[in-house]
Structure 1
Amino acid sequence: TRSQAVVAKYIHLPLVIMGKRKRLFVEESRYTKVKSFVQDWCSKRGLKQLTFNSDYLHVVFTCLLFIEIVLNVIIIRTVPYTEIDWKAYMQEVEGFINGTWDYTELQGDTGPLVYPAGFVYIFSGLYYLTDHGRDIYFAQCIFAIIYIFNLSLVFNLYRKAKNIPPYAAVFLCFPAYRIHSIYVLRLFNDPVAMCLLYLALNLFIYQKWTLGSIFFSLSVSVKMNILLYAPALLLVYVRSLGIIQTITQLSICAVIQLMLASPFLWQNPLGYIGRAFDLGRVFLYQWTVNWRCLPEEIFLDPRFHALLLVGHLLALLLFGYVYRNMYAFGKCTQCLSQPRPVLLLLFTCNMLGVAFSRSLHYQFYVWYYHTLPFLLWSTSYAPSTKLCLLGIIEICWNTYPSTELSSLALHLCHLSILWGLLRIKTKME
């Protein structure tokens, strides 16, 4: 009726007004919060916290990730792709897809297949996703996703360790021209292996040992350089889990390798082992970044390779002796329950392998690039020295072709980092 309509109108009107006022209040409240947030972080004190306080690393990392997403889109759209190994990768896995399981018969334009079985499966997937490797743009997009995921894993390791100031986080990402090139302009397999490794390290620091072992073994199955972490990981296993559980974790790693390699081992076991884990592989002098300071005949001499191997083993023993207090049995539970000492041990072990490498090619920069700020800020060097070392290393890796000077400078930087790590004063001592 008319009277009911009038009553309903006058009842409804205040409710509408109250609803509008409530929404207005909520909007004003949100605006006030945003304004307060901006004022806090844009103040002198807020900027200082964002620059130097490691408790705010997560804020900086979030901003850097968004910047990196935009930067990778720009790089893919504006910088030409350079063909180096992608076509060869596709040719190698195409043989497997066509039914060839003998590793000695799998090869591409750049030579025979020299990577373990995990590489074959992953890049076979990429073969199908990219129209037999022809859709380079889509492949670049996939590698950009791998890069962002890899970066988020690295950021989480640093967030947990809290051993660098936020301003140093910048050097983990977009200033590195060579790193972006390796990921989205060259499409090497090294980024895939490193992404799996950093996933494994994240699982280890969360005490997810079995999953960590699975992904560590998967990373080894893509590229063998991951084994540079093996001595330190063995120590972490023993100190954290004991002998029995260590054997269990090593068995998991071995089973993963056997499962992945089983078709190739069944067809030609010696051929697979000889190709996938060829420790005597000879590198080309023209691509070396670290040994350009030596004549080619010395670079190729097996005695020089043996000398580097002995030096690597002695360096591992030296660092093991120096770090013995930090990782002593009586202190292992307290020490290895924290991310920082675990990562210090693993990253230092990898750094030793890089320093004594028979050859470093340009794509090998990803082997240790993301660990450099961690290692440098673990030393007692002044911030200016740390930044200087980072800058020189970046220049050396961006010098193409490498020169005697760039090669020597790279070795001096590596030695400086290792010297600083030898003199670490840990809280566990």
Structure 2
Amino acid sequence: MARGQLTTLQLMKKTLQRYAVDSFKGFSIKRLLFDHSGLGFMASALFLCEIVLNVAIVNLVNYTEIDWKAYMQEVEGVVNGTYDYYQLKGDTGPLVYPAGFVYIFTILYYLTDHGKNIQMAQYIFAGFYLLVLLLVFRIYMKTKKVPPYVLAFLCCTSYRIHSVFLLRMFNDPVAMMFLYAALNLFLDSYWTAGSLFYSFAVSIKMNILLFAPALLLAYLTSLGLQGTVIQLAVCASLQVVLALPFILTNPVAYLMRAFDFGRVFLFEWTVNWRFLPEWLFVNRNFHILLLVIHAILLLAFYSYWKVCLQSFARMKHVEKDLKVQMKKSKNKVDMSVTARLFLLPLFTANFIGIACSRSLHYQFYVWYSHSLPYLLWSVPFSSTFRLCILGILELCWNVFPSTNLSSAVLQICHLVILYGLYNNREMATKK
């Protein structure tokens, strides 16, 4: 080989080595943390960290009894043959959740030695937590809405969410687990399966109904009137089947207790309205005002949601053809925008309901914590400002008991997010 050729080969080798090093650096800094191609790696790494963290919490942090014992007492009544909701109660009061709650926590009752094996229950809820994380990560990977580093704010940084799952074992995260499963099914066009999971989530806790206005619109735009009627029938039928033993025993008791929309929460537990005087908080007119504001906000977003969901329906119709064409050319189909068009209305509808809620308790944080990054990255705030909002919200939810300042700041953050979503509706799906 000639001397000139050898020199050229050596130069090429050095160039390739330098390129490889630069590429690795680019991957570790830019792609891993900031590029959407790093979402899968980041999600996998965080999931492994969460397994270790969950085990550590269960074994090293003291469990706090709040509602678990009452849950077990409530379902024990059913186990003993009582199906009259007026007769089912625990130390914290009567059973006020629909039938799905009874079935889920009856299973837990048997798996945990009638509720006595607390550590076993905690490990089961750790499994729930990890499953929720997988479902949420899948949503974020499908939408490519946030950079990979933001996924850490969905899990590792939240003390309150870990507490709700592992140290308190409320029913709220169980309901959200089925809700996120339903959203994944809807995104994959499994409408009937999604409706079953959605309805089952409602049967565990009624806060899931906050998604209903946007979901109804999604049914109408994607499936038409006939398809919508079918999906509503699926949802209703599951509710009837689950509730049948209780309805046959005392239908009035079941409906009044399981779907009590007029329940008034205690002022001492409120996280969002602590800065109000108690006489105003319990005033019926205040509750009506919040309901009116809720309805007005839903109407204000209606036309935009309709455009989003109509676009989602059209893109879904051509998605299969695109996949076939791209498969032949061995290229991948990026349908992240399609997923965004569906999720933004649902997450926004839920957020509006929470912002207008009569009272938020600490466990209610799980109702929207996993969707907050999605909403914040749907408006043109700076990344620094978005992260500040996430941090402030986490701090507000960790102040116990809530104070005038923490509750006021929480509501201000809610208003900022609502303002951003409303004033930048046309830009929300472009990033």
Matched, 1:240 2:241: no
Partner of 1:140: 122
Task: Provide the secondary structure at the position in 1 that maps to 2:189.
Answer: coil
Pairing partner for 1:70 from 36, 45, 52: 52
- 8 Å Cα contact 1:57/1:166 also seen in 2: yes
Q: Is the 8 A contact 1:312 1:356 kept in 2?
A: yes
- Residue ranges of structure 1 left out of the alignment (5+ in a row): 1-37
Deviations 1:305-331 (A, max 9, x none): 11100100000000113444434x577
Amino acid at match of 1:380: P
In structure 1, C-alpha distance between the alignment counterparts of 2:233 and 2:37, rounded to whole Å: 38
| SS of aligned partner of 1:43 | helix
Question: Equivalents in 1 of 2:243, 2:300: separation in Å?
Answer: 35
| 1:68 match: secondary structure | helix
CA distance in 1, matches of 2:175, 2:428: 33
Contact 1:326 1:335 in 2 (8 A): no
| CA shift for structure 1 position 79 | 0.3
Deviation string for 1:174-206 (max 9, x for gaps)? 100000000000010001000000000000000
**2:390 aligned partner:** 390
Cα contact 2:135–2:180 (8 A) shared by 1: yes
1:310-360 CA distance string (max 9 Å, x none) = 100000000113444434x57741279711111101000000000000000
In structure 2, the residue corresponding to 1:141 is in which secondary structure? helix
**Aligned AA (2:384):** S
Separation (CA, whole Å) in 1 of partners of 2:219 and 2:143: 19
Q: Distance in 1 between matches of 2:166 and 2:23?
A: 33
Tell me the number of residue pairs that the alignment of Structure 1 and Structure 2 aligns: 393
Quote how far apart the aligned CAs of 1:124 are. Answer: 0.4
Give, in whole Å, the separation in 2 of the partners of 1:98 and 1:427. 52
Equivalent in the alignment of 1:270: 252
Is the Cα–Cα contact under 8 Å of residues 117 and 260 in structure 1 kept in the other structure?
A: yes
User: 4+ residue stretches of structure 1 with deviation over 3 A?
Assistant: 38-42, 321-327, 329-332, 426-429
For residues 335 and 395 of structure 1, do their structure 2 counterparts lie closer, same or farther at Cα, with a shift above 3 Å needed?
farther
Match of 1:416 in 2: 416
Q: Deviations over 1:236-257 (max 9, x none)?
A: 1111111101100000000000
Q: Is the 8 A contact 2:308 2:342 kept in 1?
A: no
Counterpart residue number, 2:343: 343
Matches of 2:55 and 2:262 in 1, distance apart?
Answer: 39
CA contact (8 A) 1:40 1:46 kept: no
Is the Cα contact below 8 Å between 1:54 and 1:165 reproduced in 2? yes
- Structure exhibiting the larger radius of gyration computed from Cα positions: 1
Q: Deviations over 1:248-276 (max 9, x none)?
A: 00000000000000000001001100000
Question: What is the match of residue 22 of structure 1?
Answer: none
Whether the 8 Å contact between 1:205 and 1:342 is mirrored in structure 2 is yes
In the alignment, which residue of structure 2 is the partner of 1:212?
A: 194
Whether 1:195 and 2:177 are equivalent positions in the alignment is yes
Shift of the alpha carbon at 1:427?
8.0
Query: Which residue pairs with 2:77 in the alignment?
Result: 95
Q: 1:93 to 1:216 in 2, by over 3 A?
A: same
Q: Could you tell me how far 1:289 is from its partner in structure 2?
A: 0.2
Amino acid at match of 1:201: L
Give the match for residue 334 of structure 1: 315
Q: Provide the residue aligned with 2:16 in structure 1.
A: none
Per-residue deviation, residues 373-398 of structure 1 (Å, max 9, x unmatched)? 00000111010110010011001000
Residue identity matched to 1:275: R
Distance 1:330 1:344, change over 3 A: closer
**Aligned residues of 2:214 and 2:305 also touching (Cα < 8 A):** no
User: Which moved further from structure 2: 151-160 or 42-51?
Assistant: 42-51
Partner residue, 1:401: 401
Q: Partner amino acid for 1:278?
A: D
Structure 2 letter corresponding to 1:388 = C
List alignment gaps of at least 5 residues for structure 2: 1-19, 320-337
Q: Deviations over 1:30-63 (max 9, x none)?
A: xxxxxxxx97885244321111111220110000
CA contact (8 A) 1:326 1:426 kept: no
Aligned counterparts of 2:23 and 2:255: Cα–Cα separation in 1: 56
Task: Determine helix, strand or coil for the equivalent of 1:425.
Answer: helix
Distance 1:340 1:330 in 2: 10
- Could you tell me how far apart the structure 2 residues matched to 1:158 and 1:261 are? 34
Query: How many Å separate the matches in 1 of 2:429 and 2:263?
Result: 41
**Distance verdict in 2 for CA 1:330–1:67, change over 3 Å:** closer
Distance 2:223 2:304 in 1: 22
Are positions 1:293 and 2:275 aligned together? yes
1:84 to 66, 71, 95: 66
Q: What is the aligned partner in structure 1 of residue 209 from structure 2?
A: 227
TM-score by length of 1: 0.89
Contact 2:312 2:339 in 1 (8 A): no
Contact 2:35–2:148, Cα closer than 8 Å, also in 1: yes
**1-structure distance, mates of 2:428, 2:301:** 17
Q: Say what the alpha-carbon RMSD is for the aligned residues.
A: 1.9
What SS does the aligned partner of 1:124 have?
Answer: helix
| Amino acid in structure 2 at the alignment position of 1:172 | L
SS for the counterpart of 1:188 is: coil
Amino acid at match of 1:203: L
2:379–2:428 contact (8 Å) kept in structure 1: no
Alignment of 1:154 onto 2:130? no
User: Tell me, what secondary structure is at the counterpart of 1:283?
Assistant: coil
TM-score, length basis structure 2? 0.88
- Distance in 2, matches of 1:39 and 1:215, equals 47
Distance 1:331 1:139 in 2: 40
Write the mapping of 1:152-191 to structure 2, written as runs, cut at 5 A. Answer: 152-191=134-173
The equivalent residue for 2:322 is none
Percent identical:
55
- Corresponding residue number in structure 1 for 2:98: 116
**How far 1:167 moved relative to its partner?**
1.0
Which residue number in structure 2 is paired with residue 307 of structure 1?
A: 289
Q: 1:145 to 1:340 in 2, by over 3 A?
A: same
**Pair 1:41–1:409, CA change in 2 (3 A):** farther
User: In the TM superposition, what whole-angstrom CA distance separates every residue of 1:52-96 from its partner, at most 9, and x where no partner exists?
Assistant: 111220110000000000000011111000000000000000000
**Structure 1 residues 270 and 47: alpha-carbon distance in aligned structure 2, compared to 1, 3 A threshold:** same
Cα gap change, 1:380 to 1:111, in 2 (>3 Å): same
Determine the structure 1 residue equivalent to 2:327: none
SS in structure 2 opposite 1:293?
coil
